[in-house]
Amino acid sequence: MAQIGIIGGGNVGANTAFFLAERNLAHVCMYDVKDGLSTGKALDLMEAAPLRGYQYRVEGTDDIRQALDSQVLVIAAGEIRSPGEQREDLYERNATILDEVADRLAGYSGVIIVATEPVDPMTLRLVKHGFDPRRVIGIGGVLDSARLRALIARELGAAQEDVKATVIGRHSHDMIALPAYCSVAGVPVATLISGARFAELVEETRHAGDRIVELAQRTNSYYGPAAATTDVAEAVVHDTRRILSVSTVLTGQYGITDVAMSLPALIGAGGVERVLEPRLTDDELAQFAKSAASLKAHA
């Protein structure tokens, strides 16, 4: 039976465990460096199991080795942003945490999903620890695409599931929405929303995480990241070969290497099975290259 391990029992980790349980996807084992935290949250979740019909167990552990006995491992450990901070401001603090986690993952050969911010540099950093780049997946583009889908659905009063959107590049204010790859029930979004209004929705998407931090004050976004993580985990565990915009270390796409950014990719049991290259406009290509150069400069 498949098991999904979660490193980090905070809001993102615990809600990922919740969404995984709700989907009856696999056994879940959650670890946190703080003794008792993951065990207590897992106990709370399992007490809901009779009411929610969970088929698989959710357990917490103070021994990371139990979480490592998993086909998929979610990295959700790290500090969160304060109002006024950007994702990049977390890099130094969370890089230290990620390095400590990576040392404890030595020999792990499953698929690793990165939810720790900033997602793109953390994805690259983990690969630099020696993990197979095809098996290290950041959730940035999945989350950004979901946020844009929600805004398009709100704008049109349409059902969420009928809206498709593709966002690539950095999980930051530099994210790149691709209107040519956005649609509602197969109808191109450009025929339903003016270019100017679409640009406003994209700008709202860019700042969605900031807005949550500003409003909530003491917490970052976690339902969205947990849901994005769950979608990626499901694609791996069930080998669904879904196309998801995920952060992965590029190997020549658009002439770019050695940097992690989101592009649509076929996700299966082996992680990133294939990276797709959408047809970009000259402006989109320039934005993508500029983001890559910025990431390399701060690597």
Residues catalogued as catalytic? 171
Dihedral (CA of 183, 184, 185, 188) sign: negative
**For residues 120 and 247, what is the distance between their CA atoms, to the nearest angstrom?**
6
Q: Which are the contacts of 12, defined by CB distance < 8 A and separation ≥ 6?
A: 76, 115, 222, 225, 226, 229
- Give the residue carrying structure tokens 């498949």: 2
In one letter, which amino acid is 284? Answer: E
DSSP-derived 3-state class of residue 90: helix
In one letter, which amino acid is 46? Answer: M
**For residues 33 and 10, what is the distance between their CA atoms, to the nearest angstrom?**
10
**For residues 224 and 236, what is the distance between their CA atoms, to the nearest angstrom?**
19
- Give the residue carrying structure tokens 């099975």: 273
As a whole number of Å, the end-to-end CA separation of the chain is 38
DSSP state of 267: E
DSSP-derived 3-state class of residue 175: coil
DSSP state of 82: P
DSSP-derived 3-state class of residue 119: helix
